[in-house]
Amino acid sequence: MSNELKKLSPGSLWNIFSDICSIPHPSGHEAALRDFLKKQAEDAGLKVAVDPTGNMLIEKLAFHGMEKHKTVILQSHLDMVPQKNSDVKFDFVKDPVKPKIDGDLIKAEHTTLGADNGIGAAAMMALLLDKDIPHGPLKALFTVEEETGLVGAEKLSPGFVDGDILINLDSEEEHRVFIGCAGGVRSNHEFIAEYDAVPPRNTAMNIKVSGLKGGHSGCDINSGRANSLKLLTEMLTAAEERFGLKLADLHGGSLDNAIPREAFATVLMPVSNTDKFADFAAGFEVEKVQLFGRSEPNLHIQLICVRVPDRVFKEDFQKRLLSALNDCPNGVVALSKAFPGVVETSSNLAAIKSEHGKIIVRTSQRSFCADSKKRLADKICDIFTAAGAACTRDCDYPGWEPCPDSSILKTFTEVHKELSGKEPEAVIIHAGLECGIIHSINPRLDMISFGPEIRNAHSPDESVSISSVGRFWNLLLRLLKTV
């Protein structure tokens, strides 16, 4: 189906996006894609530099007669979020994404598509390789490992991002221009698992929570979607004493920036309680489907009888673990007073896994206010520390403070109105954009972020609107001609 993409307009952009889909590029594995784009640029006679982190900068001279225009840096990231359902066989490091056309949308077969941020990267390369598009001095910055904590941007050197204007192409809502973003931090909580022998006359079963929409833990955090880990731990806590439930395993989620869609547990209980527990689980599912309504119509809880495991968590450890998970803040914590209706502070209970005798819990916190972000992270750390976990943090990155008087914002607004007949909405986003870090490295850069219509990023339901990509492309060309 990739060849079908190459029949779309603008052809240069869709040709490159098709190539991007064919080259595996999850976070941490961008080298093959970078090398492919690097060769294309070098073959076109463009200047290319790659820094020690793997970020790539491609420079192109101004179109004839536009040499005195401001230097514009276009910026996108090379990596994509690798998300699939657990029953899908797919290796993001080895297998190409398979895009398919569905009306005005492009989706992937059972995985994330990578329109976030493959469309932005494709647009940049199409501009670089075209000799007929008018623009001033142009630089194209391709960063790595954005999806795992803005790693590439964080390690940029000041000289690598020198210019006058930065246009980030990593936004997902048409007719909006982003002028600010939240900062974030990831928190890690490690328990040393404590085990007991399996009691006699018990039966075992696996519990699977699935069918949830998931989504971006920043952009979708106020969408009313369920968190699979929160649902499962609530269910386990309610059943713990009532059915003599003992926990042998608990895991789910995978990425810090994705709302977890699936969660799994292995539990034991007296044989006499299994039918009662099945009825309880069915009732719990009905209750939650009614609670979340249209936000989660496919929520499903499945029970499967399995072989009795060799060990279970000690009773005290199980209680401490479940208590911390239930007490951990999740979702919207505070709304902005300066920007009505905008989420200021949030947290995502992102992932739980067992590894080398440890239970590792990952959470992420976001806020436009650095103090609020720190207080929330501190509170969550206190909850898990009190339960016996060791807590650390990483990927602590700054937000991007809005500048309503921005010159590039004014120009963008005028161009957008000229092309579409209406003014774009200037907004701030409750997600981490690399603009925050890049602005802290080079505060004199004038910045905006915009993009086409991308829905359900960071989930297998990700899609991009074909028609919006055409409008996005025309808007970008006119903007570069104008600045």
| 141-162 per-position pLDDT tens digit | 999 999 988 899 999 998 898 9
How high is the mean pLDDT of the chain?
95
- Tokens of residue 302, six digits: 């499945």
Instruction: Specify the residue for token string 């899908």.
Output: 88
When pLDDT is averaged across residues 236-265 and rounded to a whole number, the result is 95
When pLDDT is averaged across residues 320-343 and rounded to a whole number, the result is 93
Task: Please name the fold of domain 2-182+399-482.
Answer: Aminopeptidase (3.40.630)
Assign 1 a pLDDT band (cuts: 50, 70, 90). Answer: very low
Q: Which residues pair with 448 in a beta bridge?
A: 167
Question: What is the per-residue pLDDT for 2?
Answer: 57
Q: Does residue 290 carry a pLDDT above 70?
A: yes
Catalytic position from the list 19, 30, 146, 154? 146
Q: Assess contact for 353 and 251: CB atoms under 8 A.
A: yes
Closest CA to 400 of 182, 148, 251: 182
- Tokens of residue 330, six digits: 């999740």
Question: What is the per-residue pLDDT for 353?
Answer: 96
Q: Which residues contact 479 (CB under 8 A, 6 or more apart)?
A: 167, 411, 412, 415
- Tokens of residue 58, six digits: 């491609």
Assess whether 310 carries a catalytic annotation: no
Dihedrals phi, psi of 440, to nearest 5 degrees: -70, -25
CA atoms of 283 and 275, how far apart (whole Å): 13
One of 3.30.70.360, 1.20.1260.10, 3.40.30.10, 2.60.40.10 is the CATH number of 185-397, namely: 3.30.70.360
When pLDDT is averaged across residues 264-282 and rounded to a whole number, the result is 97
CA atoms of 209 and 483, how far apart (whole Å): 51
Q: How many CA atoms lie within 13 A of 3 on its CB side?
A: 0
Assign 341 a pLDDT band (cuts: 50, 70, 90). Answer: confident
Assess whether 146 carries a catalytic annotation: yes
CATH 3.30.70.360 in the chain is located at 185-397
Q: How many CA atoms lie within 13 A of 196 on its CB side?
A: 12
Closest CA to 210 of 372, 74, 85, 59: 85
CA atoms of 360 and 391, how far apart (whole Å): 10
User: pLDDT by residue (tens digit) across 83-128?
Assistant: 998 889 999 999 999 999 999 999 999 999 999 999 999 999 999 9
When pLDDT is averaged across residues 398-419 and rounded to a whole number, the result is 93
When pLDDT is averaged across residues 452-462 and rounded to a whole number, the result is 94
Question: What is the per-residue pLDDT for 423?
Answer: 95
Task: Tell me which amino acid residue 42 is.
Answer: E
Closest CA to 189 of 387, 21, 34: 387
Q: Assess contact for 206 and 197: CB atoms under 8 A.
A: no
Q: Does residue 313 carry a pLDDT above 70?
A: yes
Closest CA to 328 of 309, 351, 305: 351
Catalytic position from the list 19, 30, 79, 344? 79
DSSP-assigned letter for residue 273 = G
CA atoms of 451 and 476, how far apart (whole Å): 9
Q: Assess contact for 394 and 151: CB atoms under 8 A.
A: no
Question: What is the per-residue pLDDT for 252?
Answer: 97
CATH 3.40.630.10 in the chain is located at 2-182+399-482
User: Of how many residues is the chain composed?
Assistant: 483
CA atoms of 469 and 452, how far apart (whole Å): 5
CA atoms of 54 and 33, how far apart (whole Å): 11
CA atoms of 394 and 366, how far apart (whole Å): 13
In sign, the C-alpha dihedral spanning 153, 154, 159, 162 is positive
When pLDDT is averaged across residues 318-326 and rounded to a whole number, the result is 98
CA atoms of 325 and 383, how far apart (whole Å): 9
Question: Among 3-12, 23-32, 163-172, 293-302, which is the least confidently predicted range?
Answer: 3-12
Q: Does residue 184 carry a pLDDT above 80?
A: yes
Q: Does residue 169 carry a pLDDT above 50?
A: yes
Of all residues in the chain, what percent carry a pLDDT higher than 90? 89
Question: What is the per-residue pLDDT for 161?
Answer: 86
With 0-12 CB in 10 A as exposed, 13-18 as middle and 19+ as buried, what is 401? middle
Q: What angle in degrees, to the nearest 10, is found between the helix axes of 115-129 and 31-43?
A: 20
Q: Assess contact for 347 and 361: CB atoms under 8 A.
A: no
Q: Assess contact for 187 and 379: CB atoms under 8 A.
A: no
CA-based angle 382:386:390, to the nearest 5?
75
Q: Does residue 202 carry a pLDDT above 70?
A: yes
